[in-house]
Every structure is written in C-alpha cells, then in structure tokens.
Amino acid sequence: MTTPQFVPYRDRHEPAEPPERAAAAFCSVMQRRRSVRMFSDRPVSRATIEWCVRAAHSAPSGANKQPWRFVCVQDPAVKARIRAGAEAEEREFYGRRANAEWLRDLEPLGTDEHKEFLTTAPWLVVVFQLTHTDGGGQVYYLKESVGLACGLFLAAAHHAGLATLTHTPSPMAFLGEILARPAHERPFLLIPVGHPADDCVVPAFACERRPLDEVMVVV
C-alpha cells in the first residue's frame, strides 16, 4: 500500500488579465492554426522541437503512466523512407480502400497520394502509443491520453509560429518498422512540423467552423 504524498500547488499559471480576457486571447491564437500541407525547408532547431515535446509531455494521462513516445525525425534519408512508405499506403487508400463517401468528403481538401511534405518539412514527429509501460506495466485510457498529448503538441508548435499537419497514413505499421520501434509501441499520429512555404495555401473549407451553439450545450 502506497501512502499518497501531496505538495502545495504553488507554481500556478496566473495570467495578468482576468480569465475571460486570457481565454479570448488564447482562442484568437488557436483559431489561426491550420493543417498545412505545403512546408518550407527552412530549418527548425532541435531545441524548439524539444520544447514542444516537453509541452506535449505535460499532458494528463491515465494513472500518470505517460504512455507515449515522440520519435522526432530530421534525417533526410529516414524522412525519404517514411514518405515512400506513406505514399505506398496512400496509393492503396485512394485507389482501392476508401469508399465513395470518404473520397467525396476529401475532395474539398484536394489531397491525393503524393506526400511531398514528408520530405520537405524539417521535422517529422511520429507519435507512438505505448500498449504497456516500458517496464511491462498496464496503461489506462490510452487513446485519450495520447490524443491529449498530441493536441498539446499541436498547440505548442502553433504558439511557436510553426505549422503542423495531423497525418494518418493508414495502416501505419510501416512507421514502427522504419523507426525500429519495439513491439509495445504502436504508431498513433505522424506530425510534420516546420514553417509554411511562402506560397502556402490551405483549403478554404477547413477554415470553417460550425457555430458555437451547435457544438456547445449549456445546462
């Protein structure tokens, strides 16, 4: 039996302005995030990526098991292998796997099997979910935990002025093979990170959000 230990919550984040103004300011930053598929090859320092991973790693997780690994790829040869693997899966997806409704839903995004951004972006952050801890212990609420960490990563990168994409070539098993990850690590999300290309465009449709009263219910 472990006796719980508590420490005072002293290092609280207390913004200079009241909560409503602070929330509105953060919202206006987050509303300018876009999923970007046109990256510049402009470098991004390793330290920047480390800060974003630290922010992601602050996420809550079931029983604080922190069931994630962020494999951060900058090696051009590894990026090229990842691109080849992803494009092979995407050729299958667009050519065979996706049904008609799915393909129709993707039309406004203008996506296809070509994934040039996987070699242009200076970093590919491949997020793995751990089906067990490194010591073989149980993990809890795995998808929720890793999803939260990924969300914080996107917010941290955006806050730093960087663009990201949540890319999910499916199936993603090739990522574990290329990156030689152990069996208890399952690929979860592939996040290219970098500066947007100077001539970057984003789908107009992706900027639209349903009105608040459709997504929020107050009782």
Closer of 157 and 172 to ligand IYR (Cβ): 172
Does 38 bind ligand IYR (CB under 6 A)? Our answer is no
What is the closest distance, in whole angstroms, from the C-beta atom of residue 212 to ligand IYR in the complex?
22
Question: Which tokens hold the place of 149?
Answer: 């960490």
Q: Which stretch binds ligand IYR (CB under 6 A): 15-23, 154-162, 163-171, 189-197?
A: 163-171
With CB under 6 A as the contact rule, the residue among 70, 93, 117, 123 that binds ligand IYR is: 93
Does 169 bind ligand IYR (CB under 6 A)? Our answer is yes
Does 168 bind ligand IYR (CB under 6 A)? Our answer is yes
**Binding positions for ligand IYR, 122-161, rule CB under 6 A:** none
Q: Are 130 and 68 in contact (CB under 8 A)?
A: yes
Question: Which tokens hold the place of 203?
Answer: 């789908």
Closer of 63 and 206 to ligand IYR (Cβ): 206
With CB under 6 A as the contact rule, the residue among 74, 111, 119, 133 that binds ligand IYR is: 111
Closer of 167 and 195 to ligand IYR (Cβ): 167
Q: What is the 3-state secondary structure (H, E, C) of the chain?
A: CCCCCCCCCCCCCCCCCCHHHHHHHHHHHHCCCCECCCECCCCCCHHHHHHHHHHHCCCCCHHHCCCEEEEEECCHHHHHHHHHHHHHHHHHHHHHHCCHHHHHHHHHHCCCCCCCHHHHCCEEEEEEEECCCCCCCCCCCHHHHHHHHHHHHHHHHHHCCCEECCECCCCCHHHHHHCCCCCCEEEEEEEEEECECCCCCCCHHHHCCCCHHHHCCCC
Q: Are 36 and 157 in contact (CB under 8 A)?
A: no
Does 117 bind ligand IYR (CB under 6 A)? Our answer is no
Does 206 bind ligand IYR (CB under 6 A)? Our answer is no
Closer of 81 and 167 to ligand IYR (Cβ): 167
Q: Which stretch binds ligand IYR (CB under 6 A): 69-77, 104-112, 126-134, 189-197?
A: 104-112
Q: Which stretch binds ligand IYR (CB under 6 A): 17-25, 106-114, 126-134, 149-157?
A: 106-114
Residues lying near ligand IYR in the complex (CB under 6 A): 90, 93, 106, 109, 111, 167-169
